[in-house]
Structure 1
């Protein structure tokens, strides 16, 4: 594991079990209560930058990493992007921590967290926070996410075009006056155009039968998840439904549920301060700094 420092944040490189390298941003000191943050599909660790910095300042050892095929982490050569493989990567990251962490996962990251926690002993993690995800979600909302992630395969002529695409996907979020922050999620390729910085092979269409099988498997795994758990969902989310929440609570009776008003599926990006406020009481109870 290699690291480099910059102010309150530093970068680490973590090796996976199949010898890929994952890029991580960290804050705080090793030995402090640990928190690992997993981003959603098509995002990068930078979506957690504000939360990582805040947690470090509050006395936690916080780490957010780019999933394989995303951001500055390696792409899988096969490609192998199953949730089982993503859970393997999470296990590699957890092994670098001084103590069992609280794991916070948004969307795809939440699904990864459930897979990893559900197949390990309770000592694997101290607590779990799911961010706008449940084993069974609204197929229309899921399709809208998929259409955005699979769109724009030919890239963008400039950063303004990329900002327009994000604004069309998230019309309730104010468009930033300066879109240059998007460059953390874009790379200039040999064709002279800007492309989202993730492996396009990562996102493949799944049949309704495959999605239902995966949902049922994850619900069955819930019987092994006995650690404290919190679900934070966006009031304007078109992905997580009341039915999905109720179904998950039936399998995880100890699940706490928090709701962030004015936020959609991308809660941390839509209302970062409100999101931090929603998770802090849970962290203070289950991993006091």
Structure 2
């Protein structure tokens, strides 16, 4: 195994790189750490951006990994699909183009939509492509009421937007009452676009309003997703489920059922975190991922 020459100060400034994803959709990603080391690739949930992983990515890079954060198609600075193609298989194809530019067999860390994308990519569309998979507050059989609540949050104000960042902060605080309302609102700009005098969410409305020609219907195919997880484990790839302890998308009962079905899967319940685990308790989340990689003896080539 090659000894890395990585130095911690390399985490200070991410390097942005662009990739042409499926169908020519431009995908934007950031890289932190040694570009020769094995990558930990962070895939955000629906309605989020690569900025959601900032502190977790820095912690991973500080430990000698290459941390790559990706804006999924239709989100952040990546292109919106011109033909409304938001199938999970298309998200996965985009990620595969990113992985082709990285050292072999990265670790996939996927939250919600990013986790479902990781399941299909590593367990069906490109088996063997990942050295490990971390599922962040997502299981194939998610709670439909929690999913509806998240969908309603994303759809609210999608057309009208917001008159100020304070309005955005108030709405987020109402949705996530367990998370302190930020005193500094500048960080919210990463998830918003300004048009005229109003702010709008930083993602393609087609992704959530039902108008996309090809929506992410795979998220409802629980047996297909369970089969993908089974294939990942059959390939000897270690899997970790990180749940937010106050999550309304993955109840403790659903998490327990998932781990009972696949007892090889490691499980961490993060105290004080909801569905946005990395944002709610970044310290515990980063430690859980790094401890899992150490236990799994995933080398940093």
Q: TM-score, normalised by structure 2?
A: 0.88
Query: Pick from 244, 250, 253: which aligns with 1:234?
Result: 244
CA contact (8 A) 1:8 1:53 kept: no
- Map of 1:155 onto structure 2: 161
Give me the CA root mean square deviation. 2.0
- Map of 2:182 onto structure 1: 176
Alpha-carbon distance between aligned partners in 1 of 2:187 and 2:220, rounded to the nearest angstrom: 38
Q: Which has the higher contact order (CA 8 A, sep 6+)?
A: 2
1:271 aligns with 2:276: no
- Map of 2:225 onto structure 1: 218
1:153-172 per-position Cα deviation (integer Å, ceiling 9, x unaligned): 21000111111111111111
- Map of 1:195 onto structure 2: 200
1:249 aligns with 2:254: no
Alpha-carbon distance between aligned partners in 2 of 1:283 and 1:69, rounded to the nearest angstrom: 30
Q: Mind listing any 5+ residue stretches in structure 1 that lack a counterpart? A: none
Alpha-carbon distance between aligned partners in 1 of 2:257 and 2:223, rounded to the nearest angstrom: 11
Show the 5 A alignment for 1:128-143.
128-143=133-148
- Map of 1:82 onto structure 2: 87
- 1:149 aligns to what SS in structure 2? helix
Q: Give the direction of change, closer, same or farther, for the CA distance of 1:220–1:122 in structure 2 (3 Å limit).
A: closer
CA contact (8 A) 1:105 1:129 kept: yes
Q: TM-score, normalised by structure 1?
A: 0.92
- 2:121 aligns to what SS in structure 1? helix
Kindly state the Cα deviation for residue 181 of structure 1 after the two structures are TM-superposed.
0.7
- 1:140 aligns to what SS in structure 2? helix
Alpha-carbon distance between aligned partners in 1 of 2:218 and 2:80, rounded to the nearest angstrom: 24
Q: How many residues align?
A: 281
- Map of 2:151 onto structure 1: 146
Alpha-carbon distance between aligned partners in 1 of 2:188 and 2:30, rounded to the nearest angstrom: 17
Alpha-carbon distance between aligned partners in 1 of 2:87 and 2:25, rounded to the nearest angstrom: 15
Alpha-carbon distance between aligned partners in 1 of 2:283 and 2:49, rounded to the nearest angstrom: 19
1:59 aligns with 2:69: no
- Map of 2:3 onto structure 1: none
